[in-house]
Structure 1
């Protein structure tokens, strides 16, 4: 009976659209209850391969739906629950694509959190699990966060911006974390800029902060309690402390600042 129920729930989960994603948590809870009855929620030698495959499918769907729901805590729990399945010798590689996607998303989550140490720890473990660096290099889902991390290490924020656009994003779920990562970078740059300069031209701030329009700059400025005035953005703290003339950041038309990893720290020291 639990077997039949599980198949029905999986069918319902697979048919969910953006309009009814709110049904996912309830369906996933029912699916996991069925897996408990089948003794398949955790892989063991007593569980049939068929039920283990079903369990893995439920957890992978749960992970991906959690991303669409923007519930990173739930996604992390699903990722952790999947690790025994991914490392178990009982599991074959028929669903390697979903494993790569879920793993790549976890790497991207680590980047969005700024946890570079854990990112590299996970990546080193993957090289062993996947049978070498070549397999990692050929995996589109793993390579996406790897490229982003390399761009971040170089301080090439324009490359990060480019990777988060259009066809370079390997799936819809990756777009969620990519957006979070860009916001994190934007906030970091904004924090450094407001400590380094009394003001910036709005046009320069648009390029510097990877915003699509000057209107978006004004909205961002208001959120951070900056003062937009006469075509410029004024930083209240610097405006109050500055005793010398304004210092402008020179941003060439059509270009975005690109430097080494020390870019943000160096920006703070510019006089």
Structure 2
């Protein structure tokens, strides 16, 4: 009975689209996990029936992918962690057909999440584990794994234009990858913005558009306002840079005043000696 219920819920979850995800998916996933508990399959063991293991893996993978579509990274991370003992018991998904498991897709998404938050150590730890379990040859043919690997290489090289190119729709291995790709671009944009406001007093809006990978000058102005920059006369001005320059000028003036005062005092002492 519980097994049939899980199968029906899995079928329903796979059919959900758009607004149905946020309204129907969470209660359906809760029902499925309760049914798996009744089957003693939510926590896997060597004694768990193989068909129940497969059902649990399917539900947890659907939960992970739905969490991505709902932009709930915390929920996605929990599902990814719950899936690890199932993958360990069932064996590597790279030795099974894609129709049987979404391990490759879910793992690639997790690698992309690690990149988007700058956790490079965690990224390489996961990747090394995959290399040991699946082998380099299989991983090199896996589009879901190679996508974050290419992005990480481009980031290490500082080739942000390559990263930007990889995040275009035609390069994404699946729709779910667009979520983290967008987060990654926003992170890179923020880093470039921080460097720019320290390096320049101002920039032409047209140059800032290309530098920040924005689609229009209007988007540049909007981004500038969110950073507290000033957009006027076709340029972006960085108030922080101006404040630092003014502070530096004040320091110079203050230091110059001290030098002059010390010099005059020294001159007065000489007159007294003479």
Larger-Rg structure: 2
Q: Given the alignment, which residue of 184, 191, 194 partners 2:197? A: 194
Once the two structures are superposed, the pairs formed by residues 42-81 of structure 1 within 5 Å of their partners are: 42-81=43-82
The residue number in structure 2 matching 1:224 is 227
Structure richer in helix, relative to its length: 2
Residue 162 of structure 2: SS of its match in structure 1?
helix
The residue number in structure 2 matching 1:250 is none
After the TM superposition, which parts of structure 1 deviate over 6 Å for at least 4 consecutive aligned residues? none
The residue number in structure 2 matching 1:127 is 131
Residue 88 of structure 1: SS of its match in structure 2?
helix
Is the CA contact 1:53–1:91 (under 8 Å) kept in the aligned structure 2? no
Once the two structures are superposed, the pairs formed by residues 38-187 of structure 1 within 5 Å of their partners are: 38-89=39-90, 93-95=96-98, 98-130=102-134, 132-187=135-190
Q: Which has the higher contact order (CA 8 A, sep 6+)?
A: 1
The residue number in structure 2 matching 1:17 is 17
Is the CA contact 1:43–1:84 (under 8 Å) kept in the aligned structure 2? yes
Could you tell me how far apart the structure 2 residues matched to 1:186 and 1:98 are?
31
Query: Please, which moves more after superposition, 141-150 or 20-29?
Result: 20-29
CA RMSD in angstroms, aligned pairs only:
1.5
Residue 123 of structure 1: SS of its match in structure 2?
helix
Whether 1:242 aligns to 2:245 is yes
The residue number in structure 2 matching 1:3 is 3
Residue 212 of structure 1: SS of its match in structure 2?
coil
Could you tell me how far apart the structure 1 residues matched to 2:244 and 2:150 are?
40
Is the CA contact 1:221–1:227 (under 8 Å) kept in the aligned structure 2? yes
The Cα shift of 1:43 comes to: 1.3
Q: Give the paired residue count.
A: 243
Could you tell me how far apart the structure 1 residues matched to 2:34 and 2:101 are?
26
Is the CA contact 1:2–1:37 (under 8 Å) kept in the aligned structure 2? yes
For structure 1, the residue ranges without an aligned partner over 5 or more in a row are 245-271
Is the CA contact 2:46–2:89 (under 8 Å) kept in the aligned structure 1? no
Is the CA contact 2:58–2:101 (under 8 Å) kept in the aligned structure 1? no
The Cα shift of 1:19 comes to: 2.3
Is the CA contact 1:85–1:91 (under 8 Å) kept in the aligned structure 2? no
Is the CA contact 2:6–2:35 (under 8 Å) kept in the aligned structure 1? yes
CA shift in 2, pair 1:73/1:206, >3 Å: same
The Cα shift of 1:89 comes to: 4.5
TM-score by length of 1: 0.86
The Cα shift of 1:97 comes to: 5.3
Is the CA contact 2:205–2:217 (under 8 Å) kept in the aligned structure 1? yes
Once the two structures are superposed, the pairs formed by residues 209-220 of structure 1 within 5 Å of their partners are: 209-220=212-223
Could you tell me how far apart the structure 2 residues matched to 1:47 and 1:97 are?
18
Q: Which string of whole-angstrom CA distances, capped at 9 and with x for unpartnered residues, describes residues 84-126 of structure 1?
A: 1111156872446511000000000000010001101111100
The Cα shift of 1:45 comes to: 2.2
Q: Which string of whole-angstrom CA distances, capped at 9 and with x for unpartnered residues, describes residues 27-73 of structure 1?
A: 11111110000000121122110111000000000000000000000
